[in-house]
Amino acid sequence: MSTTAIPGIVAAGRQPAWAIDVANLTDITDDTTSIPLPAVTGGQKLDCYYDFGGLTLDRTANTRSRQRACQKVAEEIKIGETIAGTLTIVWDQQKLNSADPEDAAINAAYKALPEGGEVFLFIAHGWDQDVAPDATTVGDLWRVRVSQIAHLMAASAEEDIMARADLAGSLFVPNVTLTAA
């Protein structure tokens, strides 16, 4: 019996991510299945501001052991979860207050992630970043607080100047669709 490998989707250019101000998405719960398309298109696109590996998001189950009197073996039950991550982005401290749109563009992601601020991250795995999102786009929605911003020191002369946002999450909603209203 032979098996055929399923081809994968290459990640390059196919993991667009947006930061969306929480004020633009109200009433989001873990039962949410769709969000308005304009919330995403009006958000700050992030994927051109970080290198592969520059965005990490992880969910870790918090569990406890439980054994009812009728059970012969104890079981681990989920009682919650911890969501944490980091986002390391390019920025230019010298252009933070520039009025020139070309100068200000390098800091757009930095400004979308203020320390202490809360945002939604919408990540559309497999969506071509060159194609505008539409009603067929599906993605994961993460609500995160930027707990800290660190201005990083470059390890070599060839590196970009980077800042790291430490993220503490409070909600993950998978496979969210977009609606055109």
pLDDT score at 85:
97
Per-position DSSP letters for 27-62, written without gaps between them = S--TT--EEEHHHHHTSEE-TTSS-TTSEEEEEEEE
pLDDT score at 101:
87
Q: Mean pLDDT score of the chain, rounded to an integer?
A: 93
- Largest separation between any pair of C-alpha atoms in the chain: 70
d(CA 53, CA 76) in angstroms, rounded, equals 32
CA angle 167, 169, 173 (to 5 degrees): 130
pLDDT score at 6:
86
CA angle 155, 56, 91 (to 5 degrees): 50
R_g of the chain computed on alpha carbons: 19
pLDDT score at 1:
64
Per-residue pLDDT of the chain (181 residues; tens, 9 = 90+): 678 888 888 889 899 999 999 999 989 999 999 999 999 999 999 999 999 999 999 999 898 999 999 999 999 988 888 999 999 999 999 999 888 888 889 999 999 999 999 999 999 999 999 999 999 999 999 999 999 999 999 989 999 999 999 999 999 999 999 998 6
pLDDT score at 79:
84
Residue 170 · residue 154 · CB < 8 Å: no
**pLDDT by residue (tens digit) across 51-96?**
999 999 999 989 899 999 999 999 998 888 899 999 999 999 999 9
pLDDT score at 22:
95
pLDDT score at 150:
96
CA 14 to chain centre: 14
